[in-house]
Amino acid sequence: MAHVPLPGSHRAALPGSRQVSPTDAAERMEVSVIVRRRAGAVMRSRVEAIAAGDRTQPFMSREEFARAHGAEAADLAAVRKFAVGYGLTVLEEHAARRTVILSGTAAQFCAAFAVQLHHMEHDGGTYRGRTGEIMLPAELSGVVEAVLGLDDRPQARPHFRLRPDAGKAGTPGTTGTARRHPAAAAVSYTPTQVATLYGFPSGTGAGACVALVELGGGFRPADLKTYFAGLGVGSPSVVAVSVDQAKNAPTGSGNGPDGEVMLDIEVVGAIAPEAQIAVYFAPNTDAGFLDAVTTAIHDTTRKPSVISISWGGAESTWTDQAKTAMDSAFQAAATLGITVCVASGDNGSSDGVSGGGDNVDFPASSSFALACGGTNLQAAGSTITGETVWNDGASGGASGGGISSFFALPSWQAGLQVTKTGGELVALTMRGVPDVSGDADPESGYDVRVDGSDTVIGGTSAVAPLWAGLIARINGAAGKPAGFVNPLLYANPSALRDVTSGNNGDFAAAAGWDACTGLGSPNGGPLGTLL
């Protein structure tokens, strides 16, 4: 059977990794196959209208979307036929998500997609890896857009930072030996105090659902009950949703992914205590990440109107097929009236990529994400006295931001300039990150509870749920979703607090949009009116 390359599927080995042995031929695995959508031009015209700021376009229901833009029955049937031919089992099939999940052995998948899978080792652990391109049977060329999960390397990292004295130096997810912000003493706030400082409009989020995407760790209901009782905001409804067999699985270590999960829930729950919080747990792979996002977007039971994502990785670590598939999912979210808030990363302008250079974090760099950068926030009482770019040095972390090397310049960013740290102004020619910002410095961090202990956490991981909680408040009060807000925010920058001091490495804050804090932090009253 003739095979052809799947565009965008090329994979390289992780830097410093080595092949140990071929993957056991009998190893069981699952793979997500993404097929093309029907009537793509119709959806593009709707998305283009939304992107142009046309808020007269009615949001589609999930049922309408599935009928108009889901997968064609014939395409799903073609994948099923292909699977049977190689002895693979169809575990799940979702027309709206355009996803078919296949199960089989490593040997069956190697034959089906003409790849070689190996057991790989690197400094961070082991993974099942592949290199080169995935090959498709010729009859599926143009039908299948992505094949994810053959390679199960960790795709993303959580973007949270413990305050140095709250975590163990050198532990993943902590700041290590961060220096204190030079302009201000260390402070901490509850999420409700941050909401008050930013002047969030009143509201509880009643009637809204916020989806949280988590790629590890878990939450303990007893900790949530204690935390929210201490804030006096009641106990939000929190439900765990399993994706690709992943579950709510607390590790017992606040330095690990539990810190991310608890931070996300506690920030959203404190700000929008009457919103339902749905936590979608998935494996930390490219397939798991996308499956969690599309499951949340097309969830006809909980129907989230806001999605908060605090995980990501440098654009260069993703295959083009995965970036395109995730961006397409975010476009679907825009047509459904869902706001997708994504942390922009905690490693400044380099995004932690060894060898230097500027890099942005994905999926924050998708044009259809509300990319959330970080600041250091100082206050006296209920008044903000200062706000600068979060930058605690190479070991302490800094607001992620810069210029995408993959996504084109969106119309709402046309005409903007990037300010370099040395003062040079450069025209923005590709997607700029972030869009907005908020308090993220661990030295002005959030009081949270993780695995039975109270601690202080920062990072842009806190900013995505901060904005998600704000949008949930607005949605609940309005009785309808705000939807894709980027074009509206760029057209009305006075609805944000411009941050003009500091840098994240190679980029500097400036009047108006910049590649450190975007348009700025929330200016609650005007934002509530605008949205």
* Same domain flag for 173 and 84: no
First and final CA of the chain: distance in angstroms? Answer: 54
* pLDDT tens-digit readout, 298-345: 999 999 999 999 999 999 999 999 999 999 999 999 999 999 999 999
Per residue, the 3-state secondary structure of 342-358, as one string, reads EECCCEHHHCCCCCCCC
Can you tell me the distance from the alpha carbon of 127 to that of 14, in angstroms, rounded to the nearest whole number?
10
* Same domain flag for 117 and 211: no
Q: Which residue type does 162 have? A: L
Calculate the CA dihedral of residues 300, 305, 310, 316 and round it to 10 degrees. 80
Q: Which two tokens stand for residue 122?
A: 């690197």
Residue 415 lies in a domain: no
The pair phi, psi for residue 140, each rounded to 5°, is -100, 0
Q: Please, are residues 501 and 509 in contact by the beta-carbon 8 Å criterion? A: yes
- pLDDT of 151: 97
**Structural domain range at position 258:** 157-402+434-492
Q: Is residue 253's pLDDT more than 80?
A: no
Active-site amino acid positions: 260, 264, 461
CATH of residue 455: 3.40.50.200
Q: Please, are residues 231 and 224 in contact by the beta-carbon 8 Å criterion? A: no
Q: Report in angstroms the alpha-carbon separations of 358 from 317, 345, 348, 361, 502.
A: 14, 13, 9, 10, 17
- pLDDT of 169: 32
Can you tell me the distance from the alpha carbon of 517 to that of 527, in angstroms, rounded to the nearest whole number?
17
- pLDDT of 166: 54
- pLDDT of 171: 31
**Residue 475: partners with Cβ closer than 8 Å, 6 or more residues away:** 205, 207, 208, 305, 306, 481, 482
Q: Band the pLDDT of 234: cuts 50, 70, 90.
A: confident
* Same domain flag for 232 and 315: yes
> Helix (H, G, I), strand (E, B), or coil: what is residue 328?
helix
| Residue % of the chain over a pLDDT of 70 | 94
Residue 517 lies in a domain: no
Q: Which of 148, 175, 197 is the last residue of a domain?
A: 148
Q: Please, are residues 144 and 33 in contact by the beta-carbon 8 Å criterion? A: yes
* Same domain flag for 94 and 219: no
Residue 484 lies in a domain: yes
* pLDDT tens-digit readout, 466-510: 999 999 999 999 999 999 999 999 999 999 999 999 999 999 999
- pLDDT of 244: 97
Q: Please, are residues 484 and 284 in contact by the beta-carbon 8 Å criterion? A: no
Instruction: Report which of residues 393 and 282 the model is more confident about.
Output: 282
Residues in the chain: 531
Q: What integer is the mean pLDDT of 86-112?
A: 98
- Helices and strands, counts by H and E, the chain: 12, 30
**Residue 74: partners with Cβ closer than 8 Å, 6 or more residues away:** none
Q: Which of 114, 148, 182 is the last residue of a domain?
A: 148
- pLDDT of 165: 72
* pLDDT tens-digit readout, 118-139: 999 988 899 999 999 999 999 9
Can you tell me the distance from the alpha carbon of 329 to that of 43, in angstroms, rounded to the nearest whole number?
12
> Helix (H, G, I), strand (E, B), or coil: what is residue 46?
helix
* Same domain flag for 142 and 273: no
Instruction: Report which of residues 56 and 340 the model is more confident about.
Output: 340
* Same domain flag for 386 and 332: yes
* Same domain flag for 125 and 269: no
Per residue, the 3-state secondary structure of 28-41, as one string, reads EEEEEEEECCCCHH
Q: What integer is the mean pLDDT of 224-244?
A: 96
Q: Which of 130, 148, 166 is the last residue of a domain?
A: 148
* pLDDT tens-digit readout, 151-176: 999 999 999 999 987 543 333 333 32
pTM of the predicted protein model: 0.95
Q: What integer is the mean pLDDT of 284-299?
A: 98
* Same domain flag for 251 and 303: yes
For residue 29, the cross-strand partners are 104
Can you tell me the distance from the alpha carbon of 37 to that of 50, in angstroms, rounded to the nearest whole number?
19
Which residue has 């926030």 as its token pair? 377
Can you tell me the distance from the alpha carbon of 341 to that of 470, in angstroms, rounded to the nearest whole number?
11
Q: Please, are residues 504 and 398 in contact by the beta-carbon 8 Å criterion? A: yes
Q: Is residue 239's pLDDT more than 80?
A: yes
* Same domain flag for 141 and 273: no
Residue 527 lies in a domain: no
- pLDDT of 1: 63
Q: What integer is the mean pLDDT of 197-219?
A: 97
* Same domain flag for 87 and 194: no
Buried b (16+ CB within 10 A) or exposed e, 440-472: bbbbbbbbbbbbeeebbbbbbbbbbbbbbbbbb
- pLDDT of 40: 67
Q: DSSP string covering 225-264, please?
A: HHHHHHHTS---EEEEEESTT------S-TTTHHHHHHHH
Q: Please, are residues 213 and 296 in contact by the beta-carbon 8 Å criterion? A: yes
Q: Band the pLDDT of 46: cuts 50, 70, 90.
A: confident
Q: Band the pLDDT of 48: cuts 50, 70, 90.
A: confident
Please report which helix (H) or strand (E) contains residue 265, including its range: helix 257-271
Q: Band the pLDDT of 180: cuts 50, 70, 90.
A: very low
Q: Please, are residues 364 and 406 in contact by the beta-carbon 8 Å criterion? A: no
Least confidently predicted of 65-74, 173-182, 231-240? 173-182
Residue 226 lies in a domain: yes
Residue 520 lies in a domain: no
Q: How many domains does the chain have?
A: 2
Q: What integer is the mean pLDDT of 57-64?
A: 90
Residue 528 lies in a domain: no
* Same domain flag for 134 and 170: no
Q: Please, are residues 503 and 529 in contact by the beta-carbon 8 Å criterion? A: no
Can you tell me the distance from the alpha carbon of 440 to that of 398, in angstroms, rounded to the nearest whole number?
9
* Same domain flag for 196 and 253: yes
Side by side, the strands of the sheet bearing 311-314 are: 157-158, 311-314, 361-362
Residue 335 lies in a domain: yes
